[in-house]
Structure 1
Amino acid sequence: MSIHDRATAAVLAQMMMAADGALFGFGVTYVAYRSIRKYAGTASALRKIRDAPEVQPSDLRSILTEGDDSSSSDSDGGESSSSNGGGRLVIVRGSVEVKSATEKANWKALMGSNLVASKASGEKGVILQRTQTCIYNEWKGVFGWTADLRNMISGSLKEHETSSTRMVPFILVEGTKWPHSDYVVVNMEGSNHPLPLTTVYQHLQPISATPLTFLQAICGLEYPVGMLYEEKILPLGKDITAVGICSLNNGAFEIKASKDLPCFLSALTKDQLVVDLSFKTKVLMWSGLVFGTIAIGILGYSVVRNWTKYKQWRSQRRTQQQNNSTITGTESLNDEVLDEEAEEIPDGELCVICLMRRRRSAFVPCGHLVCCQRCALSIEREISPKCPLCRQTIRSSVRIYDS
């Protein structure tokens, strides 16, 4: 780690431990809140998927009919029509087929423009995703510390990947019979869920260095060193599981993605999805508990430490105020003593201890007026203060003023 990285890490550590770790505690609290929120969403999705029926396309007619495509099925594990626009939550397992195969009576429907094809491998499917990922490198040159600071602040905002997706309407069918009379149309509108695609092409192409690349390297900036090309498809005949809201649309069964669920199309079966979500739920639950406990401990420690510091500050302030008042009294006493020393004092009125100042303080409880105010205060501060005349223990002294 360079000296600049160590300095940046030290500054971040000081910021995190500000106010005895209060800032760090709030950060951990936010992580715990996010974990608990994700746990609640994942647990809800797990309950819905566990209660949803797993069917084949041919079984949909026994579950959905023309009369209840917009009705609510909450009692059977479905979702209400008010929140999902009608239909029922189901899990359909089937094979991928192009939709036009149901509209034509021969195998030529699967050829030509009805599919999307990979340019590199030539394989065909119903979904084609092309991804270009630019790989960057960084050499810390003369001005390399600027790149370190930029990476710490805005490194997560960089976009190195571009992706494009093409697809054709497709359906899920059961078995290998053709033509298919029982099928469900997959509606991909509004779905941002991950897709179970298969990689058919992957190539890493190095990028030749240019004078601009050399200048970027000298200045400590990132420069491209390679481009990764990938092509993924969803091929025909692949068995996948669709988890979504199924309803009747123009006499055909159609399934859409649900925003409340973390997946729509998956290569896993229902049992595998339940196991996977159960594991994620446990991880999120324990993460929320652990981070929540740590956050409570850190914030509690910070509150106790700051309260202790406040009490110490308040005590020091009181002591300082008392000292200031004592200093003020001493200064006024010194002024008075100077005035007394400037005038002539008869012998019978001199302090019996210092023999320099006038007798001004009477001791309590004996009442003897034999000391000046300064000497009386010094006697009071002794471990066992006693009157210098009668040797009786005294409690305090009283300033006597002439009329």
Structure 2
Amino acid sequence: MSSRDQAVAAILAQVALAGDGAVLGLALAYVAVRTLLKFTFTSSSLRTIANTPSLSVSDLRSLLSSSDDDQQQQHSNESPKLVFVHGVVEAKANVDGSWKSMRSGALVSHESGDKAVIIQRTQSCIYNEWRGLFWWTSDLRRLLPRDSKSQGSSSFRMVPFVVAESGRWPSSDYVIVNLGGSRHPLPLTTVYHQLQPVNVTAYTFLQTLFGHEYPVGVLDEEKILPLGKDISAVGLCSLKNGILEVKSCQDLPYFLSEMTKDQMVADLAFRTKLLLWGGIVFGSLSIGILGYAVLRNWSRWKEWRLRRQARRANLVAENEAAAQLAAEEERETVPDGELCVICLMRRRRSAFVPCGHLVCCQSCAISVEVDRMPKCPVCRQPVRNSMRIYDS
């Protein structure tokens, strides 16, 4: 680790331990709350998927038709049912039996030549890692959002596709996949991956010297969802105009996946245990650290309050002693040469530092000290403080 990284780590440690660990405790509490929220979502998804019926495509129509008969046409739209269906990917134009099936209903990958229903092409820039002599300029730019055009570009093409029963197509039934509004990850297959270096120009030296980021390579990727791929869909299925359709459920972490139902349940069960114990550990640490911080700050506050009360008591005692001394000085007869040059009532008792002139009583010397620009009333030299002079 370099000296700069050590300094950054030391600063972060000081910030995290500020307030006797209160900042660290709050951060751990935030992580614990987020972990428990994820645990709630994952455990709910686990129960939902475990109770979801796993059906074939042909059984979906009979299930939805029987439920529609039970409703006795009380609603104009059938309520969708959550189902788990497994099949193969096919283009909709190849199975609908219309004139569209006479032409190709699938996309063709530009790189591999494979037929697919989804093609995603991504071109992203790889930037240099060195920060240059003025590394802080790069750190400031990293705090700002970079323009998406400088990051790269992405293209997404899709044709309507269905999930059909494996080995029984085209005579089998199928269910249309509706990706509208879905943000779930798609089980795409990478068919092209290439990194092309960027030619260095004369201007690159100045960019490197001042820590400016510049692209050193361009990464091209192409991912597809090929025809005939085994896939599982867990979502809301409905029967619209006699055609089966499945769409994503936002309350579930999966929609289209290569995993089977047992694999999804096992994965969610593992995640649930991990999130539960993670929430317990982070919550316990946050409670312990916050409790320690509260006790330490409470003790410090009580000590500060006791010191403040002691200072107030000492100040009251000093004021009473000064008042008593002033009263005694007012009662005694003071020669004219020893009177205070300001009030002309009390004896000269305080000498100014650094000039050393003994020309004021203690009360007037204090009033001179608290001025905005304290100066000796005799020599007009700046005064730092005053000293009480006692007769032997």
For the aligned pair, the TM-score class normalised by the smaller chain equals 0.7 to 0.9
Number of the residue aligned with 1:54: 54
User: Match of 1:228?
Assistant: 219
Cα deviation, residue 212, structure 1: 3.2
Aligned mates of 2:255, 2:152 — CA distance in 1: 24
Q: Which residue of 1 aligns with 2:41?
A: 41
d(CA) in 1 for partners of 2:25, 2:147: 25
Say if 2:165 and 2:173, in contact at 8 Å, map to a contact too. yes
Distance 1:29 1:113 in 2: 56
Among candidates 192, 208, 212, match of residue 203 of structure 2: 212
Deviations 1:170-193 (A, max 9, x none): 111113234233111111111111
Cα shift at 1:156? 9.4
Q: Name the counterpart of 2:110.
A: 119
8 Å Cα contact 1:102/1:180 also seen in 2: no
The alpha carbon displacement at 1:169 in A equals 0.8
Residue type of the alignment partner of 1:59: D
Unaligned runs of 5+ in 1: 72-80, 344-403
The answer to whether structure 1 residue 322 and structure 2 residue 313 are counterparts is yes
In the TM superposition, what whole-angstrom CA distance separates every residue of 1:229-258 from its partner, at most 9, and x where no partner exists?
111111111111000000101101110000
Runs of at least 5 residues in structure 2 that lack an aligned partner in the other structure: 335-392
Q: 1:145 to 1:105 in 2, by over 3 A?
A: closer
**What does residue 399 of structure 1 align with?**
none
What amino acid sits opposite 2:43 in the alignment? A
Matched, 1:289 2:280: yes
Q: Name the SS for the 2:218 alignment partner.
A: strand
Task: Give the distance between the partners of 1:179 and 1:26, measured in 2 at CA.
Answer: 59
Distance change in 2, residues 1:163/1:218 (3 Å): same
* Cα distance in structure 2, aligned partners of 1:4 and 1:305: 32
Q: State whether residues 102 and 179 of structure 1, in contact with CA within 8 Å, keep that contact through their aligned partners in structure 2.
A: yes
Q: Does 1:262 align with 2:253?
A: yes
What residue is the counterpart of 1:198 in the other structure? 189
Q: 1:235 to 1:138 in 2, by over 3 A?
A: same
One-letter amino acid matched to 2:108: A
Tell me which of 86, 91, 94 is aligned to 2:87. Answer: 94
| Structure 1 residue identity aligned to 2:234 | V
Q: Does 1:275 align with 2:254?
A: no
Secondary structure in 2 matching 1:63: helix
- The percent of aligned pairs where both chains have the same amino acid is 51
How many pairs are equivalent? Answer: 329
CA-to-partner distance for each residue in 1:151-181, whole Å, 9 max, x for gaps? Answer: 4x44899883533211111111113234233
Q: Distance in 2 between matches of 1:295 and 1:56?
A: 48
Contact in 2 for aligned 1:133/1:162 (Cα 8 Å): yes
- Partner Cα distance (1:70, 1:216) in 2: 72
Shift of 1:70: 11
Please state how far the C-alpha of 1:215 moved relative to its aligned partner. 2.2
Aligned-partner SS, 2:183: coil
Return the offset for 1:319: 0.4
Measured in 1, the distance between the counterparts of 2:321 and 2:59 equals: 101
SS of 2:64 mapped into structure 1: coil
Go from structure 1 to structure 2 and tell me whether the alpha carbon gap of 1:256 and 1:62 turns closer, same or farther (over 3 Å shift).
Answer: same
Asked if the contact 2:165/2:172 (under 8 Å) is kept, the reply is no
Shifted more, 50-59 versus 17-26: the winner is 17-26
Give the Cα–Cα distance (whole angstroms) in 2 for the partners of residues 276 and 119 of structure 1: 35
RMSD: 2.8
Are the equivalent residues in 1 in contact too, given 2:61–2:239 (CA < 8 A)?
no
Q: CA deviation at 1:120?
A: 1.2
Structure 2 match to 1:166 = 157
CA-CA distance at 1:62 after TM superposition: 3.0
Q: Is the 1:115–1:124 contact (alpha carbons within 8 Å) kept by the matching residues of 2?
A: yes
Give a deviation string over 1:342-385, Cα, whole Å, max 9, x none: 69xxxxxxxxxxxxxxxxxxxxxxxxxxxxxxxxxxxxxxxxxx
Aligned equivalent of 1:180: 171
Aligned equivalents of 1:297, 1:161: Cα separation in 2: 46
Q: Are the equivalent residues in 2 in contact too, given 1:138–1:223 (CA < 8 A)?
A: no
- The TM-score with structure 1 as length reference comes to 0.75
**C-alpha deviation, 1:216, in angstroms:** 1.5
**CA deviation vs aligned residue, 1:323-357 (integer Å, no higher than 9, x gap):** 111212222343455567769xxxxxxxxxxxxxx
Query: After the TM superposition, which of the residue ranges 160-169 and 257-266 deviates more from structure 2?
Result: 160-169
Task: Name 2:32's counterpart in structure 1.
Answer: 32
Distance 1:61 1:324, change over 3 A: same
Contact in 1 for aligned 2:78/2:238 (Cα 8 Å):
no
Tell me the equivalent position of 1:142: 133
Q: 1:85 to 1:259 in 2, by over 3 A?
A: farther
Instruction: Check 1:156–1:212 CA distance in 2 against 1; reply closer, same or farther (3 A cut).
Output: closer
